[in-house]
Amino acid sequence: MTTSFVLLSDTHLPKRAKDLPEPLWADIDAADLVVHAGDWVDLATLDAVAGRASRFEGVRGNNDGPEFDDQLPLVARFTVEELRFALVHETGTATGRERRMSAEYPDADVLVFGHSHIPWDTVAPSGLRLLNPGSPTDRRRQPDHTWMRGTVDGRALAVELVRLPPLTR
């Protein structure tokens, strides 16, 4: 069985945008799993995403207030088919990230994280795949608003970075 998924982070609604981009909502509606790596900022976005997702996994980020404490953990672990995922908002500086995260999450096959708003897709020497979907609403110095979509089939993971240029929002 193949599981389709959407990865997003750093939505910062309603401070950075009034809503998520329509193509992202379409991906959320179509996916078997939606994963959000924190910095929601408002509970209405959490409720909307979780309400539309067939299956949902999420964590809170550094910009999420105390109202998120009872809603989401700081770290989540879950399995998709035969892959073990870890989910966290912050991983520290880019330098040495693969080594640090491999030591911190030795039992994970995939680590999804956010915080930087910079898309990231690498594989550590340990085999840990590190994924940051960027931000669909606050691109900072990136050229595009981004999120990731993909599939898991057994232990096979396929990931695509979705780029939405700012003028098409």
Count of CB atoms within 10 A of residue 34's CB?
23
- Per-domain residue ranges for the chain? 2-168
Provide the H-helix boundaries in 2-125: 22-30, 43-52, 97-104
| Bridging pattern class, strands 110-112 and 83-88 | parallel
Reported as half-sphere exposure (CB side, CA atoms, 13 A), residue 1 has a value of 5
Distant-in-sequence, close-in-space partners of 51: CB < 8 Å, separation ≥ 6: none
Q: What is the CATH number of domain 2-168?
A: 3.60.21.10
The reported pTM is 0.96
Count of CB atoms within 10 A of residue 134's CB?
26
Checking if the pLDDT of 12 tops 90, the result is yes
Residue 166, classed as helix, strand or coil, is: helix
Helices 22-30, 43-52: crossing angle, 10 deg rounding: 50
Structure tokens, 148 = 């990731």
DSSP secondary structure letter of residue 95? T
Q: What are phi and psi of 123, to 5 degrees?
A: -125, 125
* Spatial separation of the C-alpha atoms in residues 120 and 133, rounded to whole Å: 7
What confidence tens digit (pLDDT) does each residue in 21-74 have? 999 999 999 999 999 999 999 999 999 999 999 999 999 999 999 999 999 999
Average pLDDT (123-127) is 97
pLDDT in the model for residue 167: 62
pLDDT in the model for residue 168: 53
* Spatial separation of the C-alpha atoms in residues 35 and 129, rounded to whole Å: 15
Averaged confidence pLDDT in the chain: 96
